C-alpha cells in the first residue's frame, strides 16, 4: 500500500460475519500506521446480500488511522466546511492486511470526543450485547474496558491533521 492507492476497509463481527465495508484512499502507509481517507459521498455497505447497492453515502469526511498490532483505530470526522465534528475510536481486533484491504473485527465498544467536549466511552450497551452474543470472556471484557479508559487520554491529547474544504 502506498499514498494514493484505493483500498477496501472490511469490518466483521466477532463470529466472522461481514458487518460493513467501504472504499478509502491511502494518505500514508508505513509499518507503524496506515492512514486512509474517505470523502463525502463515499458509499458504505452493510448487507453482504446487497454488495452492489450502498446502504448510505457519507455526509462527512473521515480520516482513519490503523495501527498494526493495536486493538483500536482512530477516526477524525470533519464537516463539509472543514471543521472538526468529532474524534472517534473503535475497540477492534488487530488489523489484518489482505492485498488492498484492511480487515478487522469491531467489538462494539467505542470512545468518542465531539469537538469542544470531553472524551467518553460509548456504546457500552452494544458491547454488552456483543459480549453475550459472541461469548466474550470476562477477561476480554475487562481488558476492553481498560483499553477504552486508556484511550480517553489519547483523544484528549490528539491533534487532528485538519481538512481543507477548499483546496487551491
The answer to whether the pTM exceeds 0.85 is yes
45-93 residue pLDDT tens: 886 655 556 678 899 999 999 999 999 999 999 999 999 999 999 999 9
Q: What is the pLDDT of residue 48?
A: 62
| Residue 95 near residue 75, CB atoms below 8 Å | no
The per-residue DSSP string of 70-119 comes to -SEEEEEEE-TTS-EEEEEEEEEPPPEEETTEEEEEEEEEEEEEETTS--
Confidence of residue 35 (pLDDT cuts 50, 70, 90): very high
| Residue 106 near residue 12, CB atoms below 8 Å | yes
- Assign a CATH topology to domain 6-157: FomD barrel-like fold (2.40.380)
Answer yes or no: is pLDDT of 104 > 60. Answer: yes
Q: What is the pLDDT of residue 73?
A: 98
Location of C-alpha cell 488511522: 65
Confidence of residue 160 (pLDDT cuts 50, 70, 90): very high
Confidence of residue 12 (pLDDT cuts 50, 70, 90): very high
Break the chain into its structural domains and give their ranges.
Answer: 6-157
Answer yes or no: is pLDDT of 163 > 90. Answer: no
Amino acid at each position: 500500500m502506498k499514498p494514493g492507492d484505493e483500498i477496501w476497509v472490511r469490518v466483521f463481527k466477532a463470529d466472522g460475519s461481514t458487518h460493513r465495508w467501504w472504499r478509502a484512499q491511502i494518505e500514508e502507509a508505513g509499518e507503524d500506521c496506515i492512514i486512509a481517507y474517505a470523502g463525502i459521498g463515499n458509499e458504505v455497505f452493510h448487507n453482504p446480500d446487497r454488495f452492489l447497492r450502498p446502504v448510505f453515502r457519507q455526509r462527512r469526511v473521515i480520516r482513519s488511522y490503523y495501527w498494526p498490532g493495536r486493538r483500536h483505530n482512530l477516526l477524525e470526522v470533519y464537516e463539509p466546511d472543514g471543521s472538526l465534528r468529532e474524534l472517534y475510536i473503535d475497540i477492534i481486533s488487530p488489523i489484518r492486511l489482505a492485498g488492498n484491504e484492511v480487515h478487522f473485527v469491531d467489538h462494539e465498544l467505542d470512545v468518542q470526543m465531539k469537538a469542544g467536549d470531553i472524551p467518553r466511552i460509548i456504546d457500552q450497551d452494544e458491547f454488552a450485547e456483543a459480549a453475550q452474543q459472541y461469548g466474550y470472556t470476562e477477561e476480554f471484557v475487562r481488558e476492553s474496558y481498560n483499553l477504552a479508559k486508556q484511550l480517553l487520554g489519547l483523544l484528549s491529547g490528539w491533534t487532528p491533521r485538519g481538512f481543507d474544504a477548499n483546496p487551491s
